[in-house]
Structure 1
């Protein structure tokens, strides 16, 4: 399997950035509400810290030095992440299919990358061959759907993200594909693919479809806030989302992203420690984004439903 160091470091980074371990779940949300300039960090670091972790609508009202805008990348460039993922992970999927059905070894440059990232010779595999193939396929389908949604469904405002977030997002999907291929680096799949089929493959696939439908529905509802009946864009302003799972949480599209990654862990039969670390990273990542949005909604709309949670229905 791939070494967990990359993902564990990212998880730890988000734990520190989002102050998960202190009394408040996130630094911008305490029992006594804080302002953007009333953080625990020194005043000199606050603008840079906030500029780095916020994006989109949660960044638009942030007071920051004008020179920091040099590092802004339009949020509408999100589709770049999924375009890279579709191309790169589609390429890896093709190589893996060729290796599986023609019984050819993976290219030496690819095995070299896997060895370098895992720090081992590739004997520590955690997943049967079918699981690896299905996860790689579902990851590619997920990226393709998100790419089409970014291009054809979502209506992006003039929000921005930090260039480091942009670069990390591009690298994330490259490493993610290698993580999947690396889970079967030792090739432990025994017998035909059909003989490896188990209940958790079916359950994971069903869970994946359900979570994907939830995410698509949520993104469609968000897009309709800015479009008219004809489908043309009427405004780029932020409006109060309603309907669907928005009645339960502020960001069901973030929650469904977590569910999608959990479904892939189920396809692995829950046996890939590396993938569970990926799930943990996604949990902190999406929870942070959801909490920032939740705080924005509460501060912007006096009539915002108080029963809504930020991320996980009835929990958080």
Structure 2
């Protein structure tokens, strides 16, 4: 069974070194574990869940004391800090690895556009009023930077290696990437219209419009499509493992988000799923 799976992968993926194999599996398992942690209530400390971990088991006085001691960033600053190093790595890759073929150019362009969009949204689309723990900000920043650099370097290592028998980059990879990034941006825009911050208070409403009528986190749904587009363009083991791991994490995060809406809004429509329309 294992040999059969590997032989199938060889039709779609470039061969990978032992280091890339190990790091790819570690990345997949780590992200999947984060997804299961979200389901269990151990959340990454940002967005709605920035201050839930550990506080629900302590008294109010300890809660307030711990909250004061926790070093925080504004959500806007934290997310900008999270995305900028990865974006700079993408831009630098055009200079560090020039003239390495159309696939590599497509990958670098897709990653650069992906993080440019995120930074643009932080500056001009998203509406923030909450906080982000410093540890979470550092974790997000390092994770995106390391993943981006590894994805680019993995592609560099394919230089001179024959292409996989089945080419997924065009049109499938490009179509998936563009569909994902446009759908993700559109639903982030819809979210920004529903939220208005006032000091440290934020008013939440039940999202509507677009795929929000089917799932509570359509921005995650399209982000996964975006990542699959990148992995189709790349066709490296690391990009595929990162995409699958990210899908598991976003499934857990969307499940927790739906549970949050159900607990906060009595009129939340029960037919609206977490991530995948009509399924999950």
TM-score by length of 1: 0.70
- State the match for 1:164 in structure 2: 135
Indicate if the aligned counterparts of 2:20 and 2:238 stay in contact, CA closer than 8 A.
yes
Q: Aligned partners of 2:32 and 2:169: how far apart in 1?
A: 31
SS in 2 for 1:156: coil
Kindly indicate whether residue 46 of structure 2 is the aligned counterpart of residue 55 of structure 1: yes
Q: CA RMSD in A?
A: 3.0
Indicate if the aligned counterparts of 1:255 and 1:311 stay in contact, CA closer than 8 A.
yes
Indicate if the aligned counterparts of 2:91 and 2:112 stay in contact, CA closer than 8 A.
yes
Kindly indicate whether residue 173 of structure 2 is the aligned counterpart of residue 204 of structure 1: yes
Structure 2: segments with no counterpart, 5+ residues: 1-15
Please list every run of at least 4 consecutive aligned residues from structure 1 whose deviation after the TM superposition is greater than 6 angstroms: none
Using the TM superposition, name which of 302-311 and 85-94 deviates more: 85-94
Q: Aligned partners of 1:4 and 1:164: how far apart in 2?
A: 28
Q: Aligned partners of 1:72 and 1:8: how far apart in 2?
A: 32
- State the match for 2:184 in structure 1: 215
Q: Aligned partners of 1:10 and 1:93: how far apart in 2?
A: 25
Q: How far is the alpha carbon of 1:157 from its aligned partner?
A: 2.4
Using the TM superposition, name which of 57-66 and 303-312 deviates more: 57-66
- State the match for 1:178 in structure 2: 149
The one of 193, 200, 203 equivalent to 1:237 is 203
- State the match for 1:95 in structure 2: 96
Indicate if the aligned counterparts of 2:24 and 2:237 stay in contact, CA closer than 8 A.
no
Query: Aligned in 2, Cα 1:4/1:156: closer, same or farther, shift over 3 Å?
Result: farther
Kindly indicate whether residue 127 of structure 2 is the aligned counterpart of residue 155 of structure 1: yes
Indicate if the aligned counterparts of 2:82 and 2:144 stay in contact, CA closer than 8 A.
yes
Indicate if the aligned counterparts of 2:79 and 2:122 stay in contact, CA closer than 8 A.
yes
Indicate if the aligned counterparts of 1:58 and 1:292 stay in contact, CA closer than 8 A.
no
Query: Aligned in 2, Cα 1:290/1:147: closer, same or farther, shift over 3 Å?
Result: same
Identify which of structures 1 and 2 has the higher relative contact order when contacts are C-alpha pairs closer than 8 Å and 6+ apart: 2
The structure whose residues are more often helix, as a share, is 2
Q: Aligned partners of 1:173 and 1:14: how far apart in 2?
A: 12
Kindly indicate whether residue 73 of structure 2 is the aligned counterpart of residue 73 of structure 1: yes
* Number of matched pairs: 250
**1:76-99, CA deviations, whole angstroms, 9 ceiling, x for partnerless residues?**
2212222222212110122212x5
Q: Aligned partners of 1:296 and 1:253: how far apart in 2?
A: 17
- State the match for 1:264 in structure 2: 230
Indicate if the aligned counterparts of 1:4 and 1:277 stay in contact, CA closer than 8 A.
no
Q: How far is the alpha carbon of 1:199 from its aligned partner?
A: 6.4
TM-score by length of 2: 0.78
